[in-house]
A and B are shown apart, each in its own frame.
Chain A
Amino acid sequence: SQTIHQWPATLVQPVGSPLSLECTVEGTSNPNLYWYRQAAGRGLQLLFYSVGIGQISSEVPQNLSASRPQDRQFILSSKKLLLSDSGFYLCAWRGISGNTGELFFGEGSRLTVL
């Protein structure tokens, strides 16, 4: 069966520090991978998605970047965090079955920038 892992689960970082959130998927090949951010009262905002190794689509201009160094690994990064980067970050994967498949989410990473 397929599983998705995200880490760390919680993170408290000072403004200006770097960030690296990691996500790995097991039990499937060539998934679409997604990073969402959830801020209070704003629902889920799609940040990045990837349809293959090295292929990254950015949805909103921001202080973050994403990379996909391996088929089932997706990394969210920042060189210098801002207060506004605080939030709950969710990684998700989706099979490539005609774009009708649902997203499967990880457990999330809560980032607090102080």
Chain B
Amino acid sequence: AQSVTQLDSQVPVFEEAPVELRCNYSSSVSVYLFWYVQYPNQGLQLLLKYLSGSTLVKGINGFEAEFNKSQTSFHLRKPSVHISDTAEYFCAAGQGGSEKLVFGKGTKLTVNP
């Protein structure tokens, strides 16, 4: 069964610094990958997704992620963060033939002034 690991539970950074949030998945067979963002007391909002094709995926709010099949990773990056990026970020994976998405435990990004 597919599993998703987010290696960092909390990531503090200063405003305008770059950030990388790490995500690893277990199986590359027909895998689809997603990053979601959750602001306090709200639902999850899709940032970006990888289905196939180009391994570099660009999303909303200046975020991007790179699919790396050999390392089974899908890390999220932003070159310069803002205070408003403070939120919890979830990586998720789906597989062809499965109705379910499996989520990581989330990474809390805190952007400090």
Contact = CB atoms under 8 A, between A and B. Distances in A.
Kindly state the interface size class of chain A when it binds its partner: 20 to 34
Nearest to A57: B99
B99 A107 contact: no
A51 B105 contact: no
A90 interface: yes
Contact of B49 (A51, A102, A106): A102
Interface in A74-104: 88, 90, 92, 94, 98-100, 102-104
Interface string A7-38: 00000000000000000000000001010100
Given A108-B41, A108-B42, A44 B96 contact: no
Interface of A: 6, 32, 34, 36, 41-44, 46, 49, 51, 57, 59, 88, 90, 92, 94, 98-100, 102-108, 110
5 contacts: A46-B101, A46-B102, A99-B97, A99-B99, A103-B34
Q: Which 7 pairs of residues, A with B, have the shortest CB-CB distance?
A: A43-B105, A105-B43, A44-B103, A105-B44, A107-B43, A102-B46, A108-B43
